[in-house]
Amino acid sequence: MLLLVAGPYRSGTGDDPAKIAANMAAMTEASLQLYRAGHMPLTGEALALPMIEAAGSTAIGDAAFNEIFHPLARRLLPRLDGVVRIGGASTGADEMVAIARANKLAVYHGIEAVPPLAETRGFA
């Protein structure tokens, strides 16, 4: 399955770069586990952050950041099979779950909730 891994990025960090990096590392680790299980995971951050930089962003939350960060994930979600929600409190991740549900996509709370590849429509 093509799955968005949604978890906190900025939430609870006070925009501390080390805390943001730890949140990103958690999403990357979850993505790796899903990949090794045969799925195709991605994070909105992995897609958005390079474009945000190219758009000239100089700070988290500036106009270029806000133009791309969550809007990219909103556009992406209807094209996915589901969302894997990880981590703690996150307004953005909760929004992605709500959009997934509105689009009748699967929502999994944690990696362990994702069905094995044999139970999905994916190919090995």
pLDDT digits (tens, 9 = 90+) for 2-11: 999 999 999 9
CB atoms within 10 A of CB 49: 18
Which residues, listed in sequence order, are joined to residue 109 by a DSSP beta bridge?
85
Question: If DSSP codes are grouped into helix, strand and coil, which group holds residue 86?
Answer: coil
Per-residue pLDDT averaged across 84-96, rounded?
Answer: 97
pLDDT of the residue at 118: 66
Would you say residue 21 has pLDDT above 90? yes
pLDDT of the residue at 117: 81
Would you say residue 19 has pLDDT above 80? yes
Strands (DSSP E) contained in the chain are 2-6, 40-42, 82-85, 106-109
Tens digits of per-residue pLDDT, 33-84? 999 999 999 999 999 999 999 999 999 999 999 999 999 999 999 999 999 9
Q: What percent of the chain lies above the pLDDT cut of 90?
A: 93
Characterise 6 by phi-psi region: left (phi > 0), alpha (psi -120 to 50), beta (else): beta
**Strand-pair category, 40-42 with 2-6:** parallel
